[in-house]
Amino acid sequence: MSGGVAAPSPVATPAPAVVVSPNAPAGATPQAQSPVIATPPFATPTPAASSAAPSAAQTTFPASSAATATPVQAPISPAPSAIIAPVAAPAAPVAPAAYAPPAPAPVVDTAPAVAPVSPAIPPVSAPAVFAAPPAAPAPVAAPTPVLAPAPAPAPEPAKSSWLSRFVPSAAPAPVPAPAPTPSAEPATASEPAAAESPKASWMTRLRNGLSKTGQSITTLFIGVKVDENLFDELETALIMSDAGVEAATSLLTALRARVKKERIEDGERVKVVLRELIAAHLKPLERTFDLSRSTPVVTMITGVNGAGKTTSIGKLARHFQQNGKPVLLAAGDTFRAAAREQLVEWGRRNNVTVIAQDGGDPAAVAFDAVQSGRARNMGVVMVDTAGRLPTQTHLMEELKKIRRVIAKADNTAPHEVLLVIDGNTGQNALQQIKAFDDAIGLTGLIVTKLDGTAKGGILAAVAAGRNGVRPVPVYWIGVGEGIDDLQPFVADEFAGALLGMTS
Ligand SMILES: Nc1nc2c(ncn2[C@@H]2O[C@H](COP(=O)(O)OP(=O)(O)OP(=O)(O)O)[C@@H](O)[C@H]2O)c(=O)[nH]1
């Protein structure tokens, strides 16, 4: 979702909270209710859970059955966070650890029968504690003819489009039959059967996206004489891709040396060597997101407006769950309803719980989410934040506050602070990295929209690490709008795509 989020300064307006089940009617907006504690179908509060709950009150969504309870004083936020629970799954009478991967196709938009949630469960003082759909149906009020396993919401429009774009191109690898992907996510019935290996397809999109650079560089090598003209043209092409003068110059210096040393006279061979050099240059940015840490891995997601934060969170939720890590989301943009709704929608698709709040302090939502994530033994807690420009000082201060408050909920957190960068941003990305890094100490980058930009060379500029820009690692790259369109950053693959190489 793009669009300027000129989020106002946080105002700690007491706000009612909501609990939304993903099987609530699609598009339903969490309705603010009078402050109540709705005990989700999840867990019996454990001591840890009880102590963890900072929220004052919560409401269910659709909240017809919310049980009232005495609001509890929130240490951080006077405004309770909303809990948008993943599935209208039966309650888990058991502890938080009992998270089970989403039951088959949980999302039912047609069955408004919200959850077996609340009614029968006694009000508790630990509102933030809830568990995702456990396997065991609860003996709780679940008479509602809920959840026929439902088709997940909308199909991914982007997916079919990139697939169709891919069809005409040569698929080098043997075509695997529509793979019965062991996905933790409910299968989307409309998901198109892959006609080529997933790897080939995202590489194709990346290559297509970077094609302006790729094509121009590729044409330079055809029947070319390996001489100073070629080097000059290569250098220019790299600069045009936003690699930056320093990186381009340094790469070409190394290329000249290799060509001379190895007495290379073949243009194609020069291209291979350039790929190696670019890959080596980018290699320091390659870093795997460590999921083996003691959980939950609390991850802040930041960036300018429209960079792709929320979309990336949706994609990551799927990725983490596929890797056996239960996910909890926090809607840290408390001011823009559309931003929350977008996150809730991703929560629905992934069958994960979203903690949100209508108005109020984003830091409080983050606090609640971390507490809740700990109590429930989540694998990853992702905190979305409102888009902001580095020049909006008060909003950058707000980010710092979110970071500080997260640390109050878990003094080792946040474990990851990610900046999402739109791949089209060009050299301005460097300023963004510096400003966010200075403010909140980045641990990694997600570079999005590389399926549609000729500016992929920006990563070479990042890797060069000049002008006070720390070469922050790149965990993932976004190559489309679909839920699967996020890939780990691999320097060699990226270098190949940048040069328009097919393998
Ligand atoms: N082509 C393409 N589009 C993307 C990618 N990632 C995100 N988008 C699109 O970019 C637009 C903005 O994405 P959002 O996730 O809403 O961005 P955001 O940073 O959360 O936006 P704000 O909340 O307004 O700051 C949406 O239309 C996304 O579908 C990507 O990797 N490729």
Rounded to two decimals, the ipTM of the complex is 0.99
- Enumerate residue ranges in the chain where pLDDT < 70: 1-200, 209, 211-216, 218
Instruction: Look up residue 208 and give its two tokens.
Output: 């297509």
Closest CA to 127 of 77, 182, 171: 77
pLDDT at 65: 31
What is the position in ligand 1's atom list of the atom closest to the CA of 477?
31
At position 344, the amino acid (one-letter code) is V
pLDDT at 468: 85
Taking a C-beta distance cutoff of 8 angstroms, is the pair 469, 440 a contact? no
Instruction: Look up residue 155 and give its two tokens.
Output: 């199909």
Known binding-site residue numbers = 303-310, 384-388, 448-451
Q: Does ligand 1 lie within 6 Å of residue 133's CB atom?
A: no
| pLDDT tens, position by position, 459-497 | 999 999 877 899 999 999 999 999 999 999 999 999 998
Q: Does ligand 1 lie within 6 Å of residue 452's CB atom?
A: yes
Cis peptide before 296 (omega within 30 of 0): yes
Q: What's the chain's Rg over C-alpha atoms?
A: 24
Pairing of the two strands 327-332 and 82-84: unpaired
Q: Whose CA is nearest to atom 4 of ligand 1?
A: 481
Helix 157-166 to helix 198-209 angle (10° resolution) is 90
Known binding-site residue numbers for GTP = 303-310, 384-388, 448-451
**Backbone phi, psi, residue 489, to 5°:** -80, 125
Q: Does ligand 1 lie within 6 Å of residue 485's CB atom?
A: yes
**Separation of 308 CA from ligand 1 center, angstroms?**
3
Q: Whose CA is nearest to atom 13 of ligand 1?
A: 308
Write out the H or E segment, with its range, that includes residue 327.
strand 327-332
Q: Does ligand 1 lie within 6 Å of residue 208's CB atom?
A: no
**Residue of 159, 162, 301, 311 best suited for mutating to test ligand 1, as the one with most atoms within 8 Å of CB:** 311
Q: Does ligand 1 lie within 6 Å of residue 1's CB atom?
A: yes
Q: Whose CA is nearest to atom 10 of ligand 1?
A: 308
| pLDDT tens, position by position, 201-217 | 777 777 776 766 655 67
Distance CA 100, CA 133 (A): 6
Taking a C-beta distance cutoff of 8 angstroms, is the pair 118, 40 a contact? yes
Closest CA to 450 of 427, 421, 429: 421
Q: Is 62 exposed, middle or buried (0-12, 13-18, 19+ CB in 10 A)?
A: buried
CA distance readout (Å), 308 to 1, 418, 461, 477: 7, 12, 21, 11
* Distant-in-sequence, close-in-space partners of 303: CB < 8 Å, separation ≥ 6: 309, 385, 387, 419, 420, 421, 422, 432, 436
What is the position in ligand 1's atom list of the atom closest to the CA of 303?
19
Q: Does ligand 1 lie within 6 Å of residue 486's CB atom?
A: no
